[in-house]
């Protein structure tokens, strides 16, 4: 068995301070024996108004990607950057309308980016909280492709936040061989309290995968409050660990032989009448 960590943060618009806190939490995860650590959505910058400027800096000089590589090499762990803004598409073209993509990066313990995923589903929703209205599509362009990648804890299926509400996304990941689903997020307190845990449990149960949910968890601005409750779930839907509010880490063992025994004993995938 191998150990995984999910990291919960309360990120702000201060890039340097966010990276300092992330480094501290990553060190905790590494010292606890984690082979892979998942950071939340917007871990480096929680301010959509500054996303384009950070994306342009990343395209030119890659300051956060360089930091991620250094952390992964020095700590000897894989790091999954929950999301970073990006101005380039997978085909190399640039986004010219001022928007960015929300991009997950998987960095191995040698500091190499081994997988990328651009968030496919954008949060254009009216919520009964202090901010009330969310329109990600005003500042973000959706991605198109799903992605999996092999890792020390199993085959990772990549997703970001609002993707969690779309089960077909995860069925496609399972079809591609996913064993561990990654869900870095910044769920609002209202939607998180109502749906965060039940959606994570549903995705784990229906795909028979481990599910790692790394959420933002606190007050970011006077109008922006996130739910937290970062957790790791088994393929049976059990909550193996949870951190409720504020920053912190959750650790759990990933038992791939046990996962495959469960799939053999209850071969849900072979029983399907439909295909994704």
pLDDT at 3: 98
Residue 225, strand partner residues = 219
Alpha carbons 260 and 178: distance in angstroms, whole number? 12
Residue 101, strand partner residues = 86
Q: What pLDDT, in 10s, does the model give residues 214-266? A: 999 999 999 899 999 999 999 999 999 999 999 999 999 999 999 999 999 99
pLDDT at 202: 98
Residue 276 confidence (pLDDT) above 60? no
Percent of the chain with pLDDT over 90: 92
Q: How confident is the model at residue 127 (pLDDT cuts 50, 70, 90)?
A: confident
pTM to 2 decimal places: 0.97
Alpha carbons 10 and 247: distance in angstroms, whole number? 6
Burial of 120 (0-12, 13-18, 19+ CB in 10 A): middle
Residues in the chain: 276
Residue 179 confidence (pLDDT) above 90? yes
Quick one: average pLDDT of 25-43? 98
Burial of 242 (0-12, 13-18, 19+ CB in 10 A): middle
pLDDT at 14: 97
Mean pLDDT rounded to a whole number for the chain:
96
pLDDT at 123: 86
pLDDT at 240: 98
Which domains does the chain possess?
Answer: 2-271 (3.60.110.10)
Q: How confident is the model at residue 130 (pLDDT cuts 50, 70, 90)?
A: confident
Catalytic residues: 41, 119, 161
Quick one: average pLDDT of 106-134? 91
Q: What pLDDT, in 10s, does the model give residues 136-161? A: 989 999 999 999 999 999 999 999 99
Under 8 Å between Cβ of 136 and 101: no
Residue 41 confidence (pLDDT) above 70? yes
């Amino acid at each position: 068995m191998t150990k995984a960590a999910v990291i919960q943060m309360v990120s702000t618009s201060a890039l340097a301070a966010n990276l300092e806190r992330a480094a501290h939490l990553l060190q905790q995860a590494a010292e606890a024996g984690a082979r892979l650590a998942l950071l939340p959505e917007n871990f480096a910058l929680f301010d959509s108004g500054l996303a384009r400027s950070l994306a342009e800096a990343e395209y030119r000089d890659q300051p956060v990607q360089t930091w991620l590589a250094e952390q992964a090499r020095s700590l000897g762990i894989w790091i999954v950057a929950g999301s970073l803004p990006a101005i380039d598409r997978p085909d190399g073209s640039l986004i010219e309308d001022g928007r960015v993509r929300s991009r997950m990066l998987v960095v191995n313990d040698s500091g190499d980016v081994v997988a990328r995923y651009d968030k496919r589903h954008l949060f254009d929703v009216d919520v009964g909280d202090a901010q009330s209205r969310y329109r990600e599509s005003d500042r973000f362009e959706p991605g198109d492709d799903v992605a999996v990648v092999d890792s020390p804890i199993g085959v990772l299926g990549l997703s970001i936040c609002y993707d969690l509400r779309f089960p077909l996304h995860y069925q496609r990941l399972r079809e591609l061989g996913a064993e561990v689903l990654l869900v870095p997020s910044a769920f609002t307190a209202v939607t998180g309290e109502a749906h965060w845990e039940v959606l994570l449990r549903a995705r784990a149960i229906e795909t028979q995968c481990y599910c790692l949910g790394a959420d933002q968890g606190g007050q970011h601005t006077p109008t922006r409050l996130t739910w937290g409750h970062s957790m790791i779930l088994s393929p049976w839907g059990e909550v193996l660990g949870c951190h409720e509010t504020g920053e912190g880490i959750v650790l759990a063992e990933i038992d791939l032989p046990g996962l495959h025994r469960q799939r053999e004993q209850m071969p849900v995938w072979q029983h399907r009448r439909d295909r994704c």
